[in-house]
Amino acid sequence: MSIASVRRSLLDFTRGRGRFHAMAERSVQLVLHYDGSGFSGWQRQPERRTVQGVMEAALERLCGAPVGVLGAGRTDAGVHARGQAAGVQVPERWTATALRRALNAVLPPDVWVAAAHEMRAAFHARYSAVARRYRYYVGTDQEADSPFRRRVEFAIRRSLDRGALDATATQLFGEHGFRAFAVQGTAPPDDDHRCHVHVARWLDRTGGVVFEIEANRFLHHMVRFLVGTMLDIATGRRPPQDMAALLVAADNRAVSPPAPAHALFLEAVVYPADLYL
């Protein structure tokens, strides 16, 4: 075959006239519930059980080829989810409804696909998100030590100043630098660590309280640092004015230790309505 004929054949393929065509794909958002107790976090890790790894193994089993799963956020080891969003590109034969049903048939019992939505091609699970919402559960009664609760609640033995909790949460509204509430070295050097908080409140519930926060972005361990600091203020371990000082601090040296991971839930991820089909 001459060089000219080889070139013509290659041009035919690039113009779509060859025998081989790229497989059509469908963009799907999966809304996941998972019990983080048995996972080393979201992100795939060698020789570790992770949510991303379990999801990718299930999708490969169904689709017959590797399928990458991109999460809206990387939850840490022990953190749970009732609204983690994951983006996948699957063969077009899979409708969102059929994919959800098939995944729930093969996934382990600590992961469940709550919903599946067909999305536009521009959808990106991480970068398209406009807000994320977390909840942190604190138990204050004797039953917080029950084996049915202590796996998903942080039991506090000291009395909480409920007014102090509300006052510290109120200070979080709006845009602030949260450098004091982040693990150092986990963000790019030029990151300003600024986040816009839409919701920050403590809610009463049977047996305790829950902290709810929604923002456009979150830094590594940010919610757990916030909760640890607010609980220290509410139990008298540190003065109320510390919260304002930490919101303008240049580093995290003065922050309280982060609250334990096991009581934190990723509740929801919000996307623009026009990304949904």
3-state SS assignment for residue 80: strand
What type of residue is 44?
R
Q: Is residue 62 within a helix (H) or strand (E), and if so which, with residue range?
A: helix 51-63
Predicted pLDDT at 22: 54
Rg (the chain; Cα; Å): 23
Query: pLDDT by residue (tens digit) across 259-273?
Result: 999 999 999 999 999
What is the pLDDT, as a whole number, of residue 23? 66
Please say whether the beta carbons of 51 and 119 come within 8 A: no
Contact partners, residue 126, CB within 8 Å, separation at least 6: 70, 71, 72, 73
pLDDT for res 274:
98
Query: How many Å apart are CA 201 and CA 199, to the nearest integer?
Result: 7
The predicted pLDDT at position 190 comes to 81
The dihedral built from the CA positions of residue 106, 108, 109 and 115, taken in this order, carries a sign that is: negative
Three-state DSSP state, 273? helix
Residues with catalytic function: 76
Kind and range of the H or E element at 222? helix 222-234
Q: Name the pTM for this structure.
A: 0.90
Please give the domain boundaries of the chain with CATH numbers for all domains.
Answer: 23-127 (3.30.70.580), 131-270 (3.30.70.660)
**Cβ–Cβ under 8 Å, residues 208 and 145:** no
Q: How far apart are CA 36 and CA 38, in angstroms?
A: 6
Regions in the chain scoring below 50 on pLDDT: 1-21
Position 124, amino acid: H
Q: Which residue has the tokens 């570790």?
A: 48
- Give the tokens for residue 271: 């996307």
Question: Are 196 and 130 contacting, i.e. CB atoms less than 8 angstroms apart?
Answer: no
The whole-number pLDDT of residue 51 equals 98
